[in-house]
Amino acid sequence: MVVQLPHDLDPDFRAEIVQREKDYSQDLQRRGVWRHLWRVVGEYANYSVLDVESNDELHKVLSGLPLLPYLKITVIPLATHPSDIAAGA
């Protein structure tokens, strides 16, 4: 996910929407949906791993992101690798 907030965005609105995004993503983390979240060094971007049951659920989760209008999201579906020794854990 790459965040592309306009430079002229009202500072109060920016602070409010960024806080809502944080609250939303942390709730998903607590519920085990947003499994991993990594910052891309030097960018306003992240790599994330979400654990959902379907493409429809992923669409719903991503559509709920308060920053969605300002995000460029690339989705890469992943599957369990048969050689992953942690897969059974």
pLDDT at 89 over 70: no
* pLDDT tens digits along 29-88: 999 999 999 999 999 999 999 999 999 999 999 999 999 999 999 999 999 899 999 886
* Residue of 28, 56, 51, 39 lying closest to 2 (CA atoms): 39
User: What is the reported pLDDT for 29?
Assistant: 98
Using CA atoms, how far residue 39 sits from 2, 12, 75, in Å, is 10, 24, 16
Tens digits of residue pLDDT in 7-22:
999 999 999 999 999 9
Which domains does the chain carry?
2-72 (3.30.70.1060)
Q: Is the pTM of this model over 0.95?
A: no
- Confirm if 40 and 46 have CB atoms less than 8 A apart: yes
